[in-house]
Amino acid sequence: MSRPESSRILPMSNHPPVLTSPDPPELDMDALDTLWLQVTGTLCNIACLHCFITCGPKNHQHEMMTVEQVCNTLIEAQQQGVREYYFTGGEPFLHPNIRALILMTLAQGPLSILTNGILIDDEMAAWLGDVFRDAPYSLDLRVSLDGYTAEDNDPIRGNGTFERIIAGIKRLASHGVNPVITVTEVRPGMGQAHERATFINFVRSLGIDKPRLKFLVPFLIGREERRTRGYTENELLHEGDLQPGEAQKLQCSSCRIVTDDGVYPCPLLINTPGAKMGTSLRDGLQPIKLAWQPCYTCHVYGVTCRT
């Protein structure tokens, strides 16, 4: 699986070099089922130390999408038969027109929103609760939390974020919204069964009867590369590495992400030179090569960004 002598390095502006495989597997697009929209670009109200695209209050590598851009993308998505939508960022609730974007999207399909929950005050939680109950398609909230104590979470997400995230989760629950708690395994052992059980019990203690958790391994790019380590030259995919049937299970066989400047294979690659597929959704329907280092993590751990 290792051919480090033939790997090449692509330069990245403001980012460490990215290794690409010289002979990666090629993945066909089965159908464009899932569309991600980077609605707030790389702008976020916090700057997590494991963020794979280094989002933060001053990161303008990708700007917010305009209402017109989102509207045009939704029209094109409907033409391509997209079945479900995801909003990500950055922090989606920074968008000044987030309510309009939510309603526009829910008019044509299910929507999941990835958020840190900090900006969800009681008035927004009440509005989301109403939409959750009345929208023609399902609305889901995924709230990121990296520990069931402030001691675990705050060194990664920032001082005081644990209490603010918990407050957002409680507000959502009080208005009938049961969010998915997304946990990145930022310390050893977090993926073990007893740790997951402890996390589930903690979420129950917040007043959520049926906890919904999604655990993710870190991707060794962006700030995570500085926090722990980057990928090695051996951590790349090559032709023949995929297991039988694996190609159809990888999310990038049926999804794409749109940012303010174009279409990319997945949310992990929006800062990666060479990964941009074009400016219209139709450009993203072509096959892709699993050439990038994050593809290795998806392969080894069976990662999916879907809820």
Distance between terminal CA atoms of the chain?
A: 30
pLDDT of 145 above 50: yes
pLDDT band at 7 (very low <50, low <70, confident <90, very high): very low
DSSP class per residue in 208-247: -SS-EEEEEPPPSSTHHHHHT----TT----TT-SPTTHH
Count of alpha carbons within 13 angstroms of residue 3, beta-carbon side: 15
Structural domain boundaries in the chain: 4-15+26-301
Look at the block and give the residue holding tokens 């399902």: 138
pLDDT digits (tens, 9 = 90+) for 169-223: 999 999 999 999 999 999 888 888 999 999 999 999 999 999 999 999 999 999 9
pLDDT band at 17 (very low <50, low <70, confident <90, very high): low
Question: Residue 21 class from Cβ within 10 Å (0-12 exposed, 13-18 middle, 19+ buried)?
Answer: buried
What mean pLDDT do residues 254-280 have? Answer: 94
pLDDT band at 12 (very low <50, low <70, confident <90, very high): very low
pLDDT of 304 above 90: no
Amino acid at 22: P
pLDDT of 73 above 90: yes
Comparing 2 with 133, the larger pLDDT belongs to: 133
**Contact criterion met (CB below 8 Å) for 263 and 257:** yes
**Contact criterion met (CB below 8 Å) for 24 and 132:** no
pLDDT band at 8 (very low <50, low <70, confident <90, very high): very low
137 CB contacts (<8 Å, ≥6 apart)?
A: 106, 108, 109, 110, 111
262 CB contacts (<8 Å, ≥6 apart)?
A: 276, 277, 278, 279, 283
pLDDT of 15 above 90: no
Q: Which two tokens stand for residue 295?
A: 């593809």
- pLDDT at position 9 is 34
What mean pLDDT do residues 135-149 have? Answer: 97
pLDDT of 6 above 80: no
Task: State the pTM of this model.
Answer: 0.92
Answer whether CATH 3.20.20.60 is correct for domain 4-15+26-301. Answer: no
pLDDT of 81 above 90: yes
pLDDT of 82 above 60: yes
Q: Which residues make beta-bridge pairs with 62?
A: none
- What number of other Cβ atoms are within 10 A of residue 123's Cβ? 9
- Provide the pairing of β-strand 18-20 with 8-10: antiparallel
As a whole number of angstroms, the distance between CA 233 and CA 263 comes to 27
pLDDT of 14 above 80: no
What mean pLDDT do residues 289-302 have? Answer: 92
Mean pLDDT of all residues belonging to the chain: 91
